[in-house]
Amino acid sequence: MGSTFGKLFCISTFGESHGGGVGVVLDGCPPRLPISVEEIQRDLDRRRPGQSRLTTPRQEADKVEILSGVFEGKTLGTPIGMLVRNQDARSSSYEDMKDLYRPSHADYTTEAKYGLRNWQGGGRASARETIGRVAAGAIARKLLAELHGIEVLAWVQAVHDIEAEIDPSRVTLAEVEATPTRCPDPTAAARMFDRIDEARRNQDSLGGVVQCVARRVPAGLGEPVFDKLEAMLAQAMLSLPASKGFEIGSGFAGTRLTGSAHNDAFVPGPDGKPRTRTNYSGGIQGGISNGEDILMRIAFKPTATISLPQDTVNRDNAAVVLEAQGRHDPCVLPRAPVMVEAMCCLVLADQLLRQHGQNVLPR
């Protein structure tokens, strides 16, 4: 299975949603990086279930255990193993659905690929798999901050047809965390809360958009051909559960501009390095970071598990009606920003190490 991501800063996640636990092995982290379990737990707490009535009521503390690779508060340079044990799995809720294919889930496709599937929850396709990504992403976040002061921040930009008005250059973590929706626009956040709660009461679900900014990324990260920085970010984001779209910079809106309007003109920077007057490129030109903020947006579909009756088929290809049981988020957006941040941090950490390794000769 494709459970490994990265080349130098490399993670392998493991576990199923209703198994004994989920976790990650991180290989390639440089030694002597100060890291504490509290720093990792801080990000895991932002993605855990049961935070409000807008999220799944599954109660998981998601307490991380560092099994290897860290000693006396610093990384050893050896593989870092981290584990979160499942405590509130209720597999019996899925027993009536073990022979059915849930619409827009990975049930049918997983069985078509492997010849069998773990029908308890979502198995490897469950969003609980992202626990390993977030744990490793917290270490990547610390590495980026230590080396270059890089900050990665994501927030909910849209839910359904409600769009926030936000200046990406000014958003703070405190503003993002101020509401259960994780939208830093208070007016839009209140409307999003009501809309998600309405979908929950109606046994339905909603999708939306997460926006992410990476600040103080140095110029020079990424490659000019297959490993373009935006291509690596796109792969990372589209590997997240429920993600369906990715935009960088102006994205699709840039197609409505002319070249003269869209080009980012260079101007002298205060630090002796060129800057751009605009940032339609989203901080990446020719597949390589240019020193501006990296701006991206990720679209997430409505949660596939809903309690309304749905038409489907069973293993015998007979038509049946599914009335799903179990616990699920009416909207994945409030828990998604930290997952987006984690994948961005993992990509940037990997690219940063590749850049350091490639440029060993004096210029």
pLDDT of 57 reads 65
Lowest mean pLDDT among 14-18, 40-44, 78-82, 276-280: 14-18
Reported as a pLDDT band with limits 50, 70 and 90, residue 152 is very high
pLDDT for position 329? 84
* pLDDT for residue 125: 87
pLDDT at 12 over 80: yes
pLDDT tens digits for range 164-205: 999 999 999 999 999 999 999 999 999 999 999 999 999 999
Would you place residue 63 in the very low, low, confident or very high pLDDT band (cuts 50, 70, 90)?
very high
Angle between helices 336-358 and 130-148 (to 10 degrees): 50
Distance linking the first and last C-alpha atoms of the chain:
41
CA quadruple 115, 121, 125, 126: dihedral, nearest 10 = -170
Q: What is the pLDDT of residue 91?
A: 60
Cα 135 to Cα 36, 296, 346, distances in angstroms: 11, 22, 11
**Percentage of the chain with pLDDT > 70?**
95
State the pLDDT at residue 32: 98
- Tens digit of pLDDT for each residue in 100-109? 899 998 999 9
Predicted confidence (pLDDT) at residue 327 exceeds the cutoff of 80: no
The Cβ of residue 228 has, within 10 Å, a number of other Cβ atoms equal to: 17
pLDDT in tens, 201-251: 999 999 999 999 999 999 999 999 999 999 999 999 999 999 999 999 999
* pTM over 0.75, yes/no: yes
Q: Do the Cβ atoms of 141 and 26 come closer than 8 Å?
A: no
Predicted pLDDT of residue 252: 96
> What is the domain partition of the chain in residue ranges?
4-358
- Residue pair 47/334 in contact (Cβ under 8 Å)? The answer is no
Tokens coding 264: 């980012």
The residues facing 285 across adjacent strands are 288
pLDDT on residue 17: 83
Q: pLDDT at position 363, please?
A: 79
Residue 119, pLDDT score: 81
Task: Identify the architecture of domain 4-358 in CATH.
Answer: 4-Layer Sandwich (3.60)
- pLDDT at position 251 is 97
Handedness of CA 278, 184, 231, 8 (dihedral sign): positive
Q: What is the mean pLDDT of residues 41-45?
A: 96
Instruction: Summarize the confidence of residues 130-149 as an average pLDDT.
Output: 97
In this predicted model, what pLDDT tens digit does every residue of 111-123 receive, in sequence order?
999 998 888 777 7
Residues 6+ apart with CB under 8 A from 28: 6, 8, 9, 10, 350, 353
* Contact present, 329 and 258 (Cβ < 8 Å): no
- Counting every residue, how long is the chain? 363
Dist CA 6 CA 236 (whole Å): 9
Compute CA distances 163 → 280, 356, 358, whole Å. 20, 39, 42
State how far the Cα of 347 lies from the Cα of 40, in Å rounded to an integer. Answer: 18
Q: What is the mean pLDDT of residues 139-156?
A: 97
* Contact assessment for residue 55 and residue 156, using Cβ atoms and an 8 Å cutoff: no
| Residue 9, CA atoms < 13 Å, CB-side half-sphere | 28
Kindly indicate the confidence band of residue 59, based on its pLDDT and cuts at 50, 70 and 90. Answer: low
